Amino acid sequence: MFYSIAGTLLGIGYIPLAPATAASIIVCILIWFLLKSPLTYLSLIIILFTLGVWISSKLVILWGEDNRRIVIDESVGMLITLFMIPQRILFFLIGFFLFRFFDIVKPYPINESQNLKNGWGVVMDDVIAGMYSSIILWIFIFFYHLIQ
């Protein structure tokens, strides 16, 4: 019971249409309003990553590999994408769309990371998608400030 509640982010994973997108939107909103301390933010990434691998490993046994109900991994990816990003709606929107793009398209090595066993494969593709998204977002922010 705990695994399914945590793995679906309190039931978000049960949303019938695009549960990963719904989870990503909710995480963006929570980051916007709640996460102000970089230390708290980084701690949350580490905790959710660790929990995500552990919980996903349990849920993979019950539900199969990378079941769409498992959305705790999306929370980790979005947190990585938006880590230390200046709080502007434009930046958050771009970060959200970049993360969803990389999470759906899964270019190399994101696609390869899904071959990792158990919860590692479930979570690592979102970690790498978050890293790709963050890098591109920071490049955008750099040029955005350059032309301002």
pLDDT digit string (tens) for 62-79? Answer: 988 768 999 999 999 999
pLDDT average, residue stretch 22-39:
95
pLDDT average, residue stretch 99-124:
93
Q: Which residue from 134, 16, 119 is spatially nearest to 72, judged by alpha carbons?
A: 119
Q: Tokens 């398209």 correspond to what residue?
A: 105
pLDDT > 90? residue 23: yes
In the chain, the N- to C-terminal Cα span, in Å, equals 51
pLDDT > 90? residue 114: no
From residue 120, how far is each of 1, 76, 95, 104 by CA, in Å?
A: 21, 13, 23, 18
pLDDT average, residue stretch 20-40:
95
Q: What is the pLDDT of residue 65?
A: 76
With a pLDDT cut of 90, the percent of the chain lying above it is: 89
- Are 123 and 78 within 8 A, CB to CB? no
Amino acid identity at 124: M
In whole angstroms, what is the distance from residue 60 CA to residue 88 CA? 36
The DSSP code for 32 is H
In whole angstroms, what is the distance from residue 113 CA to residue 132 CA? 14
Q: What is the pLDDT of residue 64?
A: 80
Question: Domain-by-domain residue ranges, the chain?
Answer: 2-147
Q: Where are the alpha helices (DSSP H) in the chain?
A: 2-7, 19-34, 38-63, 72-81, 89-105, 110-113, 118-147
pLDDT > 90? residue 148: no
Q: What is the pLDDT of residue 35?
A: 85
